[in-house]
Amino acid sequence: MRIQLACLLLLFATVVSQDANARYKKFIKQHINGRMSANQCDAVIGSRHITKTDSNECKETNTFIRATTKLVKPICGRAGEPYGQLTKSLLPFDIVVCTLKNQQARYPNCQYRGQARTRQIAIRCENGLPVHYERDIVSFEN
């Protein structure tokens, strides 16, 4: 009985880990671009086929973090702090926020307006990996 339970727990841990890895890869595709500029939203979102989940509808907003995964991944550890159910970066990041200009458009006709910002970011982490970009955070320092 103990062996069966151990095997079941190992199988569950493997499935959860694989699921988090798949979400991490999607996070990278949708939100990491170290060379992104505000005027590249249409091209990058189009080439990466970023749409609303399970549809061909254009996303209202998509944010790109201008950094490498080596800088973003540590937010889920020592470079982040709890922020409700999320994790907030300790340091600000350069980001590009792409906002849909043509409402109700469908891929591949999405047109975006990009805006560069520097903000702390809030993400969801699973198994030590970033899996969801939630929002940027304006912080006021004294």
Q: Clarify whether 132 is annotated catalytic.
A: yes
pLDDT of residue 2: 54
Q: Give me the average pLDDT of each 10-residue run along the chain (142 residues).
A: 44 54 97 98 97 92 98 98 97 98 93 98 98 91 52
**Domains by residue range for the chain, with CATH:** 2-137 (3.10.130.10)
pLDDT score recorded for residue 54: 83
Please identify which of the residues 23, 26, 124, 132 carries the catalytic annotation.
Answer: 132
Residue indicated by tokens 């996303």? 59
Q: What is the structure's pLDDT at 13?
A: 42
Q: Which of 24, 31, 65, 130 is catalytic?
A: 31
Would the CA dihedral through 72, 76, 80, 83 be positive or negative? positive
Short-list 112, 25, 26, CA closest to 62: 112
| Entry pTM | 0.85
Q: Which residues contact 33 (CB under 8 A, 6 or more apart)?
A: 44, 64, 65, 66, 96
Beta-carbon-side half-sphere exposure of residue 105 (alpha carbons within 13 Å): 18
Of 121, 117, 138, which is closest to residue 130 (Cα–Cα)? 121
DSSP symbols for 35-66: T--GGGHHHHHHHTT--STTSSBPPSEEEEES
